[in-house]
Amino acid sequence: MAVLTSDQLTHLRQQVASDGVAIAYTKANLNDAAQAIENYFETTARVALNTAINAATTPVVLAAPVKAALVKHYLRQKFERGG
């Protein structure tokens, strides 16, 4: 599992603040939450999502860059829809 760098954590906190979200927590709290999200996606979601995509497209196996692009754009679209 990847450990977020201090620059990545700073950038994440700044982006949350730029969304106008009221932040009544310490940097350490937000850093811990961000790292938990990273851990979840790296240990649980990545494997499960890869398995789900492969099952949906069988017998075709999409290349990793195609899967990554689909996930990236799906997640962006999902959040833009308020998801």
- pLDDT score of 83 more than 80: no
Tell me, yes or no, whether 17 lies in a domain: yes
Predicted confidence (pLDDT) per residue in 23-52, tens digit: 888 999 999 999 999 999 999 999 999 999
Question: 3 burial class (0-12, 13-18, 19+ CB within 10 angstroms)?
Answer: exposed
**pLDDT of 18 above 70:** yes
Convert the chain into a string of H (helix), E (strand) and C (coil).
CCCCCHHHHHHHHHHHHHCCCCCCCCHHHHHHHHHHHHHHHHHHHHHHHHHHHHHHHCCCCCCHHHHHHHHHHHHHHHHHCCC
Query: Total structural domains in the chain?
Result: 1
| Residue 1: inside a domain | no
Mean pLDDT value across the chain: 92
Cis before 59 (ω within 30): yes
Instruction: Examine residue 63 and state whether it is found in any structural domain, yes or no.
Output: yes
Domain that holds residue 56: 6-80
